[in-house]
Amino acid sequence: MEGNAQLTNEIKEYVIERGVDMVGIAPVSRFDNGPEETHPRHYMSDATYVISLGMKINDGNCDVWGEWTEPSV
């Protein structure tokens, strides 16, 4: 398990040093209760972990896209 923690920390340090604002790493089992079509194994059958990256988008860039409205059900 110590090797996994070290690799996790190395990945996080690597992407943050390159400008990523946030990063998370989780086992695919975290997605087991969600919809099948959004499960990581739906896209990669042998996936074991998911790496999520987040970056801040300047508000001015978002304004170009216009207003978001709740989708109709």
pTM for this entry:
0.70
**What are the pLDDT digits (tens) for 18-57?**
999 999 999 999 999 999 999 999 999 999 999 999 999 8
Given this model, what pLDDT does residue 64 score? 72
Given this model, what pLDDT does residue 73 score? 59
Distance CA 30, CA 27 (A): 6
Given this model, what pLDDT does residue 69 score? 75
Size of the chain, expressed as the number of residues it contains:
73
Given this model, what pLDDT does residue 2 score? 63
| Helices first, then strands: H and E counts in the chain | 3, 2
Question: 67 pLDDT exceeds 80?
Answer: no
